[in-house]
Structure 1
Amino acid sequence: MTEHELKTLLSTVTPPDETARAAAHAHWAALAKPLGGLGLLETMVEDAAALTGTETPALTRRAVLVLCADNGVVAQGVSQTDASVTRAVLQNLAARRTSVCRMAAAAHCTVVPVDMGIAGAPVPGAVNCRIAPGTADFTLGPAMTRTQVVQAIAHGIELVRAQKRAPAGIQMLATGEMGIGNTTTSSAVASVLLNQPVQAMTGRGAGLSDAGLRRKLAAIERGIAVNHPDAADPLGVLAALGGFDIAGLCGVFLGGALENLPIVMDGFISGVAALCAVRLCPAAGKAVFASHASSEPAARLVLDALDKKPLITADLHLGEGTGAVASLPLWDMALAVYNGCYSFAEGGITPYTPQC
Structure 2
Amino acid sequence: MSQQQWWQAACRQPDSAAEAAARARQAQLTKPAGALGQLEAIAIQLAGLQGCEQPQIQRPWLSLFAGDHGVVAEGVSAYPQAVTAQMLHNFVAGGAAVSVLARVQQIPLDVVDLGTIDLDLELPGVRHLRLGAGTANFAQGPAMSVEQCQLALAAGRDALLRAQAINADLFLAGEMGIGNTTAATTLACALSDATPAQLVGPGTGLDRAGVAHKQAVIERALALHGSQLAEPFEALRRVGGFELAALSGAYLACAQAGIPALVDGFICTAAALCALRLNPACAPWLLFAHAGAEPGHAALLASVQAQPLLDLGLRLGEGSGAALALPLIKLACELHAGMATFQQAAVTERQA
State the AA in 1 paired with 2:343: A
Q: SS at 1:4's partner residue?
A: coil
How many Å separate the matches in 2 of 1:334 and 1:301? Answer: 27
Q: 1:190-339 maps to which residues of 2 (within 5 A)?
A: 190-230=188-228, 232-339=230-337
Q: SS at 1:228's partner residue?
A: helix
Match of 2:3 in 1: 4
How many Å separate the matches in 2 of 1:14 and 1:172? Answer: 15
Runs (4+) of structure 1 moved beyond 6 Å? none
Deviations 1:273-325 (A, max 9, x none): 00000111111011110110011111111111111101111111011011111
Deviation at 1:230?
4.4
Q: Does the 8 A contact of 1:292 with 1:311 survive in 2? A: yes
Which deviates further from its counterpart, 289-298 or 145-154?
Answer: 145-154
Deviation at 1:183?
0.2
Judged with a 3 Å threshold, the aligned counterparts in structure 2 of structure 1 residues 3 and 337 are, in CA distance, closer, same or farther, namely farther
Which deviates further from its counterpart, 104-113 or 199-208?
Answer: 104-113
TM-score computed with the length of structure 1 as normaliser: 0.94
Match of 1:93 in 2: 91
Match of 2:150 in 1: 150
Deviations 1:64-86 (A, max 9, x none): 21110000000111001111000
Judged with a 3 Å threshold, the aligned counterparts in structure 2 of structure 1 residues 4 and 105 are, in CA distance, closer, same or farther, namely same
How many Å separate the matches in 2 of 1:352 and 1:109? Answer: 41
State the AA in 1 paired with 2:340: Y
How many Å separate the matches in 2 of 1:307 and 1:230? Answer: 26
How many Å separate the matches in 2 of 1:113 and 1:186? Answer: 20
Q: Does the 8 A contact of 2:136 with 2:144 survive in 1? A: yes
2:126 paired with 1:126:
yes
TM-score computed with the length of structure 2 as normaliser: 0.95
Match of 1:56 in 2: 54
Unaligned runs of 5+ in 2: none
Q: SS at 2:5's partner residue?
A: helix
State the AA in 2 paired with 1:124: P
State the AA in 2 paired with 1:235: F
Match of 1:186 in 2: 184
Aligned residues: 350
Which deviates further from its counterpart, 288-297 or 228-237?
Answer: 228-237
How many Å separate the matches in 2 of 1:175 and 1:151? Answer: 18
Unaligned runs of 5+ in 1: none
Deviations 1:95-116 (A, max 9, x none): 1210111122233322221111
How many Å separate the matches in 1 of 2:339 and 2:228? Answer: 50
How many Å separate the matches in 2 of 1:352 and 1:116? Answer: 56
Q: SS at 2:220's partner residue?
A: helix
